Amino acid sequence: MPVSAQEVRDRFTRFRILVVGRANSGKTTLLQKVCNTTEKPLIFDGKGKKIDADIVKSSVDRGYHDIDNELVFQSNPGFIFHDSCGFEAGGEDEFKKMKEFVSKRASTRKLNERIHAIWYCIPMDEYHRAITTAEERFFSECDTNNVPVIAVFTKFDALSAVALGKLRRIPGLTRKDQFERTPKLVEEIFANANVWGRLCGTRHPPKHYVRLAKMNSDNTDCGPLLECTTGALNDEALQMLLISTQQTNLELCIAYAVKIEVMRFIERACHWGSLQVSEDECILMQRGIANWFPHTGVVSPALVAQ
C-alpha cells in the first residue's frame, strides 16, 4: 500500500535541513529561493521560543550562529533550517559543536528533531580556494550516518566571468565567438579545479552535487537542488515529506507521482500479466498520485461526471 500524505505528516511534521558554508557563500539567498521569499527568517531557540533577531544580529553578521537555533520562513514554515555555527572560520570549539550536533540529530529517536538532509554551500567565486581546511575537516571527520550531504556550488556564474575574461585576451575572437565558447571553457575551469574530485576522495564524501547560478535573479529557482535532495533520500516517506513541503517545483511533484505511483501499478499489472486496472485499483492509484500534490486541489472523476 502506498504511504499517504497524512501518514507522512503523522511520522514527520517538518523537513529539517542543516546548511553549512562559510560567510558570504550565498546561504541566505539560497534559503529564500527555496521558500520563495525575500524576507528574513524567524529565529527560534531549541525549545521553540522565538528569539529577537536584533539580539543575534551582531553574531550572524560575523558568521557565527547557534547551530541549535531554528530558522523558519513565514512563507513556508514546513522547512526548518539550522545554520552551521562558524566552524568554517577555524574555531575548534565550533567544529566540535557542529560534529556533536550532526551526530545527535542524524540518529535521534525523536523524529521531529532529526535532520533529514545537509546542504554544504561552496562558493565558486573563489574557485581557486573552493576547498579549504573547513571542507577537508568536515568531509573527513563528520559521519552523517544516513543523512545525505549535497554539495551546493553557489555563485557558479562567477566562472562565466572568469572564462569570458580569458577569452577576451585571445586575439582575433569576435564578441560572438567569446560568448559561444564561454560555456565550454567554464566546464574546463571547473574540471581543472577538481573540486568535486577532491570531495569524492574524502572519507565521508557528499552524495551528490548541484551547481547554482544567478540566484539573485527573479526567474531562477532551486529546482535542481530540491530534485537532487529528493533523489538522495533513502526513504519514500521522506521523499514525500520534502516534495509536499516545497511549493515551488510542480515538475518535481509530477515526476515522483509518475515514478512512484504510476510505475508501482504498472509493475503490478506486468506481474499479473494484465494491463487492465480495476476501478478500485484506479481510485487507489489516483489517491496515491494526489499525495504528491498536497498544495493542489483534487476533484474526484465521479464528481466531474455528475
Q: Helices 223-232 and 236-245: crossing angle, nearest 10°?
A: 160
Please report, as a single letter, which amino acid is at residue 61: D
Angle at 123 between CA 119 and CA 125, to 5 degrees: 165
SS3 20: strand
SS3 221: coil
Angle at 151 between CA 150 and CA 155, to 5 degrees: 130
Distant-in-sequence, close-in-space partners of 181: CB < 8 Å, separation ≥ 6: 163, 167, 173
User: Which is nearest to 33 in space by CA: 214, 232, 239?
Assistant: 214
pLDDT of residue 16: 95
SS3 211: strand
pLDDT of residue 57: 56
pLDDT of residue 304: 43
pLDDT of 75 > 70? The answer is: yes
Q: What is the average per-residue pLDDT within 260-287?
A: 70
C-alpha cell at 29: 539567498
- Sort residue 63 into left (φ over 0), alpha (ψ -120 to 50) or beta: left
Confidence of residue 48 (pLDDT cuts 50, 70, 90): confident
Confidence of residue 94 (pLDDT cuts 50, 70, 90): confident
pLDDT of 299 > 80? The answer is: no
pLDDT of 45 > 50? The answer is: yes
Confidence of residue 84 (pLDDT cuts 50, 70, 90): confident
Q: Edge-to-edge strands of the sheet including 15-20?
A: 50-51, 42-44, 70-73, 76-83, 15-20, 117-123, 149-154, 208-211
Q: What is the average per-residue pLDDT within 46-73?
A: 74
Q: How far apart are CA 116 and CA 252, in angstroms?
A: 18
Q: What is the average per-residue pLDDT within 27-49?
A: 90
pLDDT of residue 306: 46
DSSP state of 260: I
pLDDT of residue 256: 75
**To the nearest whole percent, how much of the chain has pLDDT over 70?**
80
Tens-digit pLDDT profile for residues 194-237 = 999 999 999 999 999 999 999 888 888 788 999 999 999 988 88
pLDDT of 166 > 50? The answer is: yes
pLDDT of 7 > 70? The answer is: no
Confidence of residue 305 (pLDDT cuts 50, 70, 90): very low
Q: What is the average per-residue pLDDT within 22-28?
A: 88
pLDDT of residue 58: 46
pLDDT of residue 213: 93
pLDDT of residue 254: 79
pLDDT of residue 1: 46
pLDDT of residue 79: 94
pLDDT of residue 112: 84
Q: What is the average per-residue pLDDT within 37-57?
A: 82
pLDDT of residue 284: 73
User: Could you tell me where the beta strands, DSSP code E, fall in 21-64?
Assistant: 42-44, 50-51
C-alpha cell at 296: 493542489
The answer to whether the CB of 203 falls within 8 A of the CB of 140 is: yes
Confidence of residue 294 (pLDDT cuts 50, 70, 90): low
Asked which of 89-93, 167-171, 180-184 is least confident by mean pLDDT, the reply is 89-93
Q: How far apart are CA 216 and CA 12, in angstroms?
A: 32
Asked which of 109-118, 197-206, 237-246 is least confident by mean pLDDT, the reply is 237-246
Q: What is the average per-residue pLDDT within 62-75?
A: 83
